[in-house]
Amino acid sequence: GAVVSQHPSRVICKSGTSVKIECRSLDFQATTMFWYRQFPKQSLMLMATSNEGSKATYEQGVEKDKFLINHASLTLSTLTVTSAHPEDSSFYICSAPLRSGTSGGVPKPTYEQYFGPGTRLTVT
Amino acid sequence: GNSVTQMEGPVTLSEEAFLTINCTYTATGYPSLFWYVQYPGEGLQLLLKATKADDKGSNKGFEATYRKETTSFHLEKGSVQVSDSAVYFCALTLGGSYIPTFGRGTSLIVHP
pLDDT digits 0-9 by tens, B21-68: 999 999 988 899 999 999 988 899 999 999 989 999 999 999 999 999
Answer for the pair A34, A46: CB distance below 8 angstroms, yes or no.
yes
CA angle B35, B39, B44 (to 5 degrees): 45
Reported as a pLDDT band with limits 50, 70 and 90, residue A37 is very high
Q: pLDDT tens across A63-84, in order?
A: 999 999 999 899 999 999 999 9
Residues of B within 8 A of A99 (CB-CB) are: 98
Reported as a pLDDT band with limits 50, 70 and 90, residue A90 is very high
Report CB contact under 8 Å: A108, B41. no
Report CB contact under 8 Å: A115, B45. yes
Answer for the pair B40, B86: CB distance below 8 angstroms, yes or no.
yes
The three-state secondary structure class of A82 is coil
pLDDT score of A60: 94
d(Cα A50, Cα B98) in Å, to the nearest integer? 12
Report CB contact under 8 Å: B87, A44. no
| Minimal C-alpha gap between A111 and chain B (Å) | 5
Q: Which of A35, A106, A112, A122 best probes binding to B when mutated, by most B CB atoms within 10 angstroms? A: A112
pLDDT score of A107: 60
Report CB contact under 8 Å: B52, A6. no
pLDDT score of B4: 96
What phi and psi, each to the nearest 5 degrees, are found at residue A21? -120, 130
| Minimal C-alpha gap between A27 and chain B (Å) | 16
pLDDT score of B22: 97
Given a cut of 60, whether residue B110 has pLDDT beyond it is yes
Which residue in chain A is spatially nearest to B101 when comparing CA positions? A46
Average model confidence (pLDDT) for chain A?
Answer: 91
Q: How many beta carbons lie within 10 A of that of residue B33, not counting itself?
A: 27
Report CB contact under 8 Å: B49, A115. no
Which residue in chain B is spatially nearest to A103 when comparing CA positions? B51
pLDDT score of A105: 57
Nearest to A93 among B34, B43, B98 (CB): B43
- Give me the percent of chain A exceeding a pLDDT of 90: 79
